[in-house]
Structure 1
């Protein structure tokens, strides 16, 4: 790090990896940045899922306001870094779309066809084509703020463990194929809970509805206080983003059902999640 900083007069370091105070590499990088008088920022982007809008906004703000020159990196300097380089090009007011797209090419060691920067760029370029517009920094900012959708519909959410069968996906989605075994003999009522909030509008939701196999399972109570969320999220509104529901299993025959969540935003718009796992009901 010291050599790169000295040769390029770096003033800010942006790590696109999740901060890991428990890991030597993170503690070492942060300590060295402080010793060199650098501003150091962490944006915990996932390697494979489309980036969350709050992460993209944070990255945009840093690209536009942080002391320059800026060093941006991920683990291998290709996928997440390529996405960040695309954003830097789209925000500089000078680069063309073609120049931005080149940031996720073999020249920069991007070898995966689904590298996260590629669908991100394609979504923006497709929107420009669909609306008959050409790229400008102002149009990119508008698209990011008003049109961009991540895989979670710009809603960050999590479902708590179901009857002790633990899962954990910190970015809000679960792996396809997760199956949860629910036995009627262990209780005729199924309790579900979790938390959810609107990352685009940085606000709470109007409501959460649970679907099993596309069929309504029940409207959840929303607005439950979750003080522990303050450790992970800066917005105090999110502390009241908890939800819970408890309903009898009698309306469902034995079998397996996709678990989905239907979210209603404060403006009345709705988004239904893809399958967040499967619940298999049996005797």
Structure 2
């Protein structure tokens, strides 16, 4: 799914409740297939600002604690796949807890499609703060969006905002996920030359094919990210 969805709106169709054996399969999928047992120990949750936090995929238990702490919304960067047990558990929990759930599916192996980048730029106006933003591991896609948020919303210079793309969060910049760093670095260079804003650059100069062609990933870090850590 390449469109942004907001499960707090009335035009999102209701999903049937998970019951019985299907609910058990959903939890098995979340905890074992999707590696939720690891996130039960370490959620990779960090503060970006008073209004925004980043993390790995939360379980319904995590969401309950977030609601108790006063969070108002969740930004899901993995997508709203209605046949996916992980998403159904998350959406069900958010609806029960009164949390706004906005889904914006993005990827970290290739430059974002122009239409997705446009949504990523605009999504911040749709969220009720404070917000938890998550992908699967809380390393790459949340790093991309945290960098974008700090630069666009908080006015942080992009190279400083790129601290959100750090090994501290589990991000490996020399593997295939380093395309995220490459995109921001190319913008920063153009900004140094011309003073162009990120929004104008995204609208007039952004070329995902050229950006992909200009990036070379280290095979060893790519192996770690793709085969060992099994990032999406």
**Structure 1 length normalisation: TM-score?**
0.48
1:84 to 135, 138, 145: 145
Distance 2:129 2:210 in 1: 33
Residues in 2 aligned to 1:5 and 1:118: alpha-carbon distance in whole angstroms: 33
Selected match of 2:188 from 98, 109, 125: 125
Q: TM-score, normalised by structure 2?
A: 0.58
The CA deviation string for residues 74-103 of structure 1, in whole angstroms up to 9 with x for no partner, is 111111111000110111243223321101
CA distance in 2, matches of 1:4, 1:146: 39
Aligned-pair RMSD on alpha carbons?
2.1
CA–CA separation in structure 2 for the residues paired with 1:94 and 1:64: 15
Is residue 2:207 matched to residue 1:149?
A: yes
Determine helix, strand or coil for the equivalent of 2:101. strand
Match of 1:4 in 2: 66
Q: How does 1:225-236 map to 2 (within 5 A)?
A: none
Is the 8 Å Cα contact of residues 108 and 180 (structure 2) preserved in structure 1?
A: no
State which of 63, 66, 80 in structure 1 corresponds to 2:124: 63
Q: How many residues align?
A: 147
Residue ranges of structure 1 left out of the alignment (5+ in a row): 154-283
Residues 59 and 97 of structure 1, relative CA distance in 2, 3 Å threshold = closer
Residues 1:31 and 2:92 are matched in the alignment: yes
Within 1, Cα distance between the matches of 2:210 and 2:172? 26
Structure with more of its chain in helix, by fraction: 2
Q: Which has the higher strand share?
A: 1
Alignment of 1:190-209 (within 5 A): none
Structure having greater relative contact order (Cα 8 Å, sep ≥ 6):
2
Structure 1 residue 152, shift from structure 2 partner: 8.5
Q: Is the alpha carbon distance of 1:24 and 1:149 closer, same or farther for their aligned partners in structure 2, counting shifts above 3 Å?
A: same
SS class of match (1:71): strand
For structure 2, the 5+ residue unaligned runs are 1-62, 212-232
Alignment check: 8 A CA contact 2:94 2:101 kept: yes
* Greater radius of gyration (CA): 1
Return the offset for 1:124: 1.1
Structure 2 distance, partners of 1:31, 1:99, is 37
Match of 2:171 among 110, 135, 138: 110
